[in-house]
Every structure is written in C-alpha cells, then in structure tokens.
Amino acid sequence: MAGVLGAAMVLAVAPLVVILWQVILNGGAAMSWEFLSSVESSPRDPGGYLHGIVGTLYMTGIAATLSIPIGILAATYLVEYGRSGRFANTVRFFTDVMTGVPSIFVGLAIYALLVVSGGAGLGFGTFVGAAALATIMLPIVVRSSEEMLNLVPADLRTASAGLGARRWQTTVKVVLPAAAPGLITGSMLAIARGAGETAPLVLTALGARQVVTAFQGTPQADIGLLMTDGFSQPFEPGIERAWAGGLTLIIVTLLLTITARFIAARRKV
C-alpha cells in the first residue's frame, strides 16, 4: 500500500521536475544579455524581452501598491473590528469566492469597466492591466493577511491597552508589526501570482512591441504576452525567446515563493 501511495507521490512531483528541466534546459540556452536588454520587433527577428520585463514589473508594481495596503487594511478590519459580525462574515465569504473567479473574466470585467467608453474610457494600457492584476491579488492578500493577524496573541493587545494605547495605536504599533513577517509572506505570494498572470492582460494591456513607460493610454507589453506570441508562431528566434521568458518567470516566482516561505519558517523559530 505504501508503495502505491509512494508511486502517486512520485507521479505528482514528476510534472514539476519535467517543467523545471525543460524550462532550464531550453530557457537557459536562449538566455543572454541580449534577451534581457533589447526589444524584439517580431518573433522572426533577433531581439529580447526588455519591453516585456519592464511592462511586467511596472504593472505588477502598481498592482501590488494598490492591492497590498487595501488588502491588509481590509484584513485588519475583519480581525480587529468586524470579527464574527454579519458584515465581516459576508466579506470573508465573498473574498473566498473571489479567489476562484476565472482570471479571464476579471480581464473582461476590467475591460468593460475601465477600457471602453461605456465605462471609464481609459483605453488599454499599463494602469488597466495593473487594475486587473490587483483585482486578482486583492482577495489573496486579504485571506492570508487575516490568517496572519489572527495568529497575533490576544494578550499583546491587552498589554497595549493597559499601557494606554488607543485602538488604532494598538493595531498600528503592536499588531501589525507583530504580524509583519507573515504579512510580507502573504504579499510576496500574491505578487508571484500577479507577475505570472497573462490571460487578463490580453484584454487590458494588449501587448506592445517596444518599451512603454506611459502610465495609461498606450498598450503595454508583458513577459507572458510575448511568450504566447513567440511560441504560437513557427519562428525559431521567437520560440527560443519564449523559453527564456518562461525561465525568467519561473525564476521570479520561485524566488518570491522561496523567500516568502523562508521568512515564514524563520518566524516560527
């Protein structure tokens, strides 16, 4: 019996091994300074993913700036003020539901809300792409932050109150700093998720062929979008760069997750 279960374990881990092997093998071969520093004009031509790297960082950065503070404050409300009240439970429930919303639907919704003239009419661009990513990241930040805040022992709050701190002072000066490592962990996992999302960006950032620094109004590039462009067309340079792009994304997400796990583990000691 243990053998069957063990075989299952191997089978479960095998895809991860295969993916890492393939990405490192092919991506490593195609990785170069040129890849990181130049722009490809089409999958046929030489070049690199600089515009995608810039775009991904730019959009993920804005998305993090939006979703992390709002998410942590929302979790603060749930833990410190709402507790088990009806409103708080409703928020919790729908936050959980929101983690399961298809990411392409988020893209459609942000498109309808922000891009078209029936909505805000902002057009495609960096900010609307970031808004889509932020919408995906927000419930993740809220959930994990709530968990972390709940782990802060109640007697710290009592001690703070006994010293004459007001509610908000206790939250800001005691509870949030005590939960900080966990909050950082949760935020990093959310960022890893945001950086890896591609589907909603098809409908909001659209993609670009050069480095875009505009905040909004001009379609923005993304590593994932460039990859899909590259590997869906039969041109070698584009395909090779797609592998390198995959390697880049894997490295970024793995770095974030490993660091997050490391911070979380250290805290337990």
The maximal CA–CA distance of the chain, rounded, in angstroms, is 69
Q: Which residue has the tokens 């170069």?
A: 32
DSSP state of 228: H
**Residue among 190 and 208 whose Cβ is closer to another protein:** 190
Least distance CB 158 / another protein (angstroms): 7
Residues 70-99 that bind another protein (CB under 8 A): 70-71, 73-74, 76-78, 80-82, 87-88, 90-91, 93-99
Q: Does 142 bind another protein (CB under 8 A)?
A: yes
Closer CB to another protein, 179 or 213, in the complex:
179
What is the closest distance, in whole angstroms, from the C-beta atom of residue 135 to another protein in the complex?
Answer: 6
Q: Which stretch binds another protein (CB under 8 A): 29-37, 40-48, 137-145, 208-216?
A: 137-145
DSSP label at residue 32: -
Instruction: Give the count of beta carbons closer than 10 Å to the beta carbon of residue 212.
Output: 20
- Give the other-Cβ count within 10 Å of 75's Cβ: 26
Going by the DSSP 8-state scheme, the letter that residue 164 receives in this structure is T
Judged by beta carbon, residue 153 or residue 213, the one nearer another protein is 153
Min dist CB 209 to another protein, Å, is 14
> What dihedral angle (degrees, nearest 10) is formed by the CA atoms of 29, 33, 36, 38?
-120
Site mask, another protein, residues 236-255, x = CB under 8 A?
---x--xx--x--xx--xx-
Residues 30-59 that bind another protein (CB under 8 A): none
The candidate with the shortest Cα–Cα distance to 151, out of 104, 185, 125, is 185
Site string for another protein, 150-189 (x = CB under 8 A): ---x-xx-xxxxxxxxxxxx-xxxx--xx-------x--x
Q: Is 262 in the site for another protein (CB under 8 A)?
A: no
Cβ-based burial of 120 (10 A; exposed 0-12, middle 13-18, buried ≥19): middle
Cα–Cα dist 159/133, whole Å? 39
CB distance 128 to 172 below 8 Å = no
How many residues contact another protein, by CB under 8 A?
Answer: 110
| Placement of tokens 């109150």 in the chain | 161
Q: How far is the CB of 246 from another protein (least distance, A)?
A: 5
Instruction: Provide, rounded to whole angstroms, the least separation between the CB of residue 97 and another protein.
Output: 5
Residues 183-222 contacting another protein, CB under 8 A: 186, 189-190, 192-193, 195-199, 202-203, 206
